[in-house]
Amino acid sequence: MCAHVLVAEDDPKQAELLRRYLEREGHDVLVVHAGRSAIDEARRAEPSLVVLDVMMPKVDGLDVCRVLRAESDLPILMLTARSTEDDLLLGLDLGADDYVAKPYSPRELMARVRTLLRRTRRSQDADRRLFQVGDLVVDPVRHTVTAADRLVECTLAEFRIIETLAAEPERVFTRKQLLERIHGFDRFITERTVDVHVMNLRKKIEPDPRRPVRLLTVYGVGYKLTHA
């Protein structure tokens, strides 16, 4: 799991130890010794992870964390000699993903790094995932639906329904379950309105909406998406 890691640590000896630990794990490491440099390099290099010391002069690690979190969801692991609960909570409240108190165990620190990187990779993989059912493709990131390579325009509620069904093809969803998935977009929606959305979706994705082959009704239960 090789990654590009930015280390911000004002103590040169500690910074060199961190570099060695991380490089031993196979990571590409960039070291800076000041908070301002950490912000600049994070913006320029777009690392996979930032290991950030709290106690740095002028611009400290908490300020760096605040700035970086406002700009991105870059994983941040904070290091600090402060070990009180208030310090821990402050770092986490500012957006740090994890917090390790000094003096730390190198093995524990590397385990925390691996955990953060795994979590980030899983999240990125999920974000990139396309749902494909037959010739129907749903892209949750781009918020698009295509049927037989034809772009389908959907309302928010329609997209939420088709995304839910495409994520688990052949599974039957009740109207109530689908209603729960789209409730955040329309607080006044009723179970009957789900039927209307399904009818409109069929007009958009089915070759013949009167004889659906993709979005099927399971009578007495609900709806499912199947491979046409």
Residue with tokens 């179970």: 191
* Phi, psi dihedral angles at 70 (to 5 degrees): -70, -25
21-65: per-residue pLDDT in tens? 999 999 999 999 999 999 999 999 989 999 999 988 889 999 999
Nearest alpha carbon to residue 51 among 96, 105, 111 = 96
pLDDT of residue 187 exceeding 60, the answer is no
Cβ–Cβ under 8 Å, residues 91 and 54: yes
CA 31 to chain centre: 26
Q: State residue 155's pLDDT score.
A: 81
* Mean per-residue pLDDT, 139-166: 90
Please report which confidence band the pLDDT of residue 188 belongs to, taking 50, 70 and 90 as the band edges: very low
Amino acid at 113: V
Measured distance CA(33)–CA(214) in Å, rounded: 58
Nearest alpha carbon to residue 4 among 49, 65, 69, 71 = 49
pLDDT of residue 161 exceeding 60, the answer is yes
pLDDT of residue 150 exceeding 60, the answer is yes
Asked if the bond preceding 57 is cis, omega within 30° of 0, the reply is no
Cβ–Cβ under 8 Å, residues 22 and 29: yes
Per-residue tokens: 224: 């499912």
Please report which confidence band the pLDDT of residue 126 belongs to, taking 50, 70 and 90 as the band edges: low
Per-residue tokens: 196: 């209307």
Please report which confidence band the pLDDT of residue 2 belongs to, taking 50, 70 and 90 as the band edges: confident
Is-above-0.85 flag for pTM? no
Measured distance CA(90)–CA(99) in Å, rounded: 10
pLDDT of residue 184 exceeding 50, the answer is no
Q: State residue 128's pLDDT score.
A: 61
